[in-house]
């Protein structure tokens, strides 16, 4: 049995951006794996019906009998749906397309905004970090993630309109802070799919740093072929191509994340 390394309260971090394709799942999988190589015990909650974090960690979605949906809607316990992965120290609560139904079914549920928070409470202390890979929307699933989290990690793709939608995201956070989770804060902003050869990428990084300030991680995640290939092998890039500069970047991000945890 893998033991957690840090003591004190675990960090519950929602990886969030309502835009799709910005690197949420990629970051969820690879940051979790990189942290585990630093000795951390990590739980990744796949909260996106696409289930990319689940398959990215080598779990066959077709073979699952239960997923996060069953815990949210049918009161199955978190401990019953936590899976070990091929990456020692990384555990996952999987999602399948069934989770898409939860968005509607939750509407009429009791305590609908805090289901996830209640669900993870009994297992929280077993982990150093818990990540929630959010769906690309600001619906009830995302509200659940924001209610359960201590803070958020916002991946932003180095592209035109990078900051588009960010205001809306910050408004949702503000609403959750006022009504459900007073202490919610921003753990960090991560620039993804960075291509140093383009001046656009550098402009975007500057623009995002101007907007968010110090909360932007120093680490920039480069766009690499190995990062995009690794999910099809059900492996994090840190296992698939540990020497790749994408893997190195996720290790460097893991160090920054650990650093911020002790502040």
Nearest to 157 by CA among 93, 71, 223: 223
Out of 13, 14, 22, 156, the residue judged to bind ligand ADP by CB under 6 A:
22
Q: Does 189 bind ligand ADP (CB under 6 A)?
A: no
Q: Does 246 bind ligand ADP (CB under 6 A)?
A: yes
Nearest approach, Cβ of residue 29 and ligand ADP (Å) = 8
Q: Nearer to ligand ADP by C-beta: 39 or 136?
A: 136
Nearest approach, Cβ of residue 24 and ligand ADP (Å) = 3
Out of 11, 12, 16, 24, the residue judged to bind ligand ADP by CB under 6 A:
24
Nearest to 55 by CA among 184, 262, 203, 236: 236
Q: Does 122 bind ligand ADP (CB under 6 A)?
A: no
Q: Does 241 bind ligand ADP (CB under 6 A)?
A: no
* CA distance linking residue 140 with residue 134, whole number of Å: 11
Q: Does 232 bind ligand ADP (CB under 6 A)?
A: no
Q: Does 45 bind ligand ADP (CB under 6 A)?
A: no
Nearest approach, Cβ of residue 65 and ligand ADP (Å) = 25
Q: Nearer to ligand ADP by C-beta: 36 or 55?
A: 55
Nearest approach, Cβ of residue 133 and ligand ADP (Å) = 7
Q: Nearer to ligand ADP by C-beta: 9 or 232?
A: 232
User: What is the CB-side half-sphere exposure of residue 13 using CA atoms within 13 A?
Assistant: 27
Task: Build a one-symbol-per-residue string for 201-230: x at contacts with ligand ADP by CB under 6 A, - elsewhere.
Answer: --------------------x-xx--xx--
Number of residues near ligand ADP (by CB under 6 A): 18
Span from 14-22, 66-74, 101-109, 114-122 in contact with ligand ADP (CB under 6 A): 14-22
**Distant-in-sequence, close-in-space partners of 58: CB < 8 Å, separation ≥ 6:** 85, 86, 234, 235
The footprint of ligand ADP (CB under 6 A) covers: 20-26, 52, 136, 192-193, 221, 223-224, 227-228, 231, 246
């Amino acid at each position: 049995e893998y033991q957690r390394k840090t003591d004190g309260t675990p960090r519950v971090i929602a990886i969030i951006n309502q835009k799709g394709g910005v690197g949420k799942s990629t970051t969820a999988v690879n940051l979790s794996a990189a942290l585990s190589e630093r000795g951390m015990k990590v739980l990744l909650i796949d909260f996106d019906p696409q289930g990319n974090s689940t398959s990215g960690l080598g779990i066959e979605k077709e073979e699952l009998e239960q997923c996060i949906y069953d815990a949210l809607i049918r009161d199955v316990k978190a401990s019953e749906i936590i899976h070990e992965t091929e990456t020692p120290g990384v555990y996952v609560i999987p999602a399948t397309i069934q989770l898409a139904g939860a968005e509607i079914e939750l509407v009429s549920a009791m305590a609908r905004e805090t289901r996830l928070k209640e669900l993870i409470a009994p297992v929280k202390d077993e982990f150093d970090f818990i990540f929630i890979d959010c769906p690309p929307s600001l619906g009830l699933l995302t509200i659940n993630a924001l209610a359960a989290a201590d803070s958020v990690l916002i991946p932003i793709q180095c592209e035109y309109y990078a900051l588009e939608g960010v205001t809306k995201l910050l408004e949702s956070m503000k609403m959750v802070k006022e009504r459900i989770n007073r202490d919610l804060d921003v753990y960090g902003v991560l620039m993804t799919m960075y291509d140093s050869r383009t001046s656009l990428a550098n402009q975007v990084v500057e623009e995002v740093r101007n907007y968010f300030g110090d909360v932007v991680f120093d680490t920039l995640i480069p766009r690499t072929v190995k990062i995009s290939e690794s999910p099809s092998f059900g492996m994090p890039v840190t296992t698939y191509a540990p020497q790749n500069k994408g893997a190195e970047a996720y290790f460097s991000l893991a160090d920054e994340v650990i650093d911020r945890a002790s502040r």
